Structure 1
Amino acid sequence: MGVVDKFIFLVLIMPIMLVSLLFAKYVFYAKIFNKLSRPVFLIMVVLLFITHQYFIVSFAMNNVGFVCYQYVLAIAAYYIDKKYGTALMFLSAFTVNVYLAVNSSTNLSRLLIAMIISLGVLLTASIIEKVSTKHILVGFSFTNILINAFIPWLFGNLYPERPYSIIDMCLVIMGSCLIDVLIGLYTRSVEAEQKKLASIERRESHDKLTGLYNYNAYSRFIEKINFDPRGDWLTVMIDLDYFKSVNDTYGHLDGNRALKFFAQGLENFVDQNIGGESSLFRFGGEEFCLLVKDYPAEKCFEKMDKFQELLQAEPFFTKNGQKLRLSFSAGLASTEDSEQDVLLMVRNADAALYIAKRSGKGRTVCPSCHF
């Protein structure tokens, strides 16, 4: 085979074919195999890998006379899942030797040496992966080039009848670079798509002004825990006091800034003082809702009073520098005192909020709390 023919085969045809096989494996794993039971899944993974690997070895041997690119699939698997990747490293060597055995080109001692080479490949991939933890794609690319270039040289020493020249090594390095470029382009396109989907999902579930979860997210969350509560829940319905007068006096821009100031302060306070499994939602306007799992109602009541004090100590300033001391009214209820009914809990918290606003505002009401 001439140099031009080898260039076409080693730099273009095989790399493109290998990337196609990688994408096919990804589709099979992600879309088809993961729906199977674990034993069947493992059997199908092994069969698919052996089929691809046998084809790669046969294709290379029949066209250039030596084995190359046999670890590409296993290296990719290793960087996705170390456990499967490790198994496929040794399965790669086994498959190569099965092919050679069928063609009367190997023996048991060569198989053992091939397994030792696979161990070396695994150690090399492991070291590079640890060094490049923050740059996985770079680590994969370097591993791919290094292994693809030098393993055929080792096999060339193991099988002298299958010569592997410096020119062959250079062509394989070029082909490995093409594999890295194609996988890099695919990875970047997947990441861009994931970011786009995450952005769309965030817009649908988060309030644009405050960054909190919105009413749509609240509705889905309530439906979920109402269907399967799993634990005791409590809710705090919160309403910012005298907000209409803030808008009327200082304008809607300062009103929005005040809302954002209050929401971010409340979110930070909840994270630092309540934590656990808690979610904060903005219903719209100046209304908010806090949902907390497995947290004492009395303790939550005390925390809300503490936040009320914090608001008084840290006033909001308008664009013109005018100082405003914000306050809120809140109603608190739990599933424990609402017949374990999530929807009834929300209605009870709403009723408690109404009592708080009617009785002077700037306070939290919890009819079921025991002090």
Structure 2
Amino acid sequence: MLVEPAQPSREELFAEGARVLAERERLSLLVNLPGIVFIAALSPFLSYGRFVLVAAALRAAAVALTRWRGKLARRAIERNQAVEAQVAGFARSLGFAGFTWALVLWPIARFGLSEPLGALLVVYVGVGVPLIVVMAAAMPRLLVSFGGCLLATLSAIIAIERTAAGTPLMLALMGLFVCVLLGGYGMHRQQAEVSRTMLENNKLADALAEANAELADALSHAEFLSQRDPLTGLLNRRAFFEEGCRSETLLCEGGQVLAIDLDHFKAINDRFGHAVGDRVLAAAADCMREIVHDQPGDDHCAVRLGGEEFALVLAGADRTAAIGAAESLRRLFATIPAEIGTADLSVSASIGVAALDPGQDVATALHNADEALYRAKHGGRDQVVQAAA
């Protein structure tokens, strides 16, 4: 069986990208908070410390907004809801984050590295921005939103300040960030391929599991058909002699075998047709199942030997119980015409009963029951006859 899973849809790839984004956002908090605390602690030692504090506060607001959007996205994913709106909101929050990262560098654009500690702001942004790009690489729109706002804000700052001390450094940083964003896009393409492969593998695993389940059902059905008569659902002749009726009760206690033959069944087929004849056989099997159900124990079996011939093995039963079961079965057969709605039909059976001694071959006991069955037929049919002791 060739299993070819369907290709992942755009919606599935989008949902997988959202899942990756939500997981990366959870980890980004560990990077952002220490950095914000660091630049806030650095501000008292800088002449432009107040501006750095404002930038730190805006960075904290951006982190909180991104965190909230990430939480909404994870909740939608857990509930199998659409995440398009959450991802759009997340893109806007990353745009604001790009704006706040650029603001941290504004003092550098004005004063350059005139204060040595200012270099730590450059390091902070130079390390933090690539980490945010790694998170945003889950989806192109996030890279565009974050990178676009970051570069646009840096360009505006450079245009406003235009200082000899800060402009060259800011341009170098912009070039660095462009390279980082391009690397992030390359990372996105790799991640998209990984996601596609993972989704294809998941679909393949699901398809294989479904195919295996169908194969197991087919094998189980084939095994059932190999052991059961398709019309009546009873054990068939091959299963009866090769596999059936080998219970512990029969081996240790023995039981009784009933050989059953429906009287004048050919006449029923000739007069009423084979469709009615099949209904009679199926109803006869139901009668046998009813008798089995009424017997104590669970090791009995009912068999269709072929045509209108049946057998019933009652494990652990004595002769009296077997005769009683045979008479009950004969009476049930008489009710078949009413059950199938054919009033002018008559159904009866000749039944032979023989003992099955502990450890005895079932075929031998059935042969003895068959001899009793023939005597029942020769004796006028519609009766139960015991085999000679």
Higher Cα Rg, which structure: 2
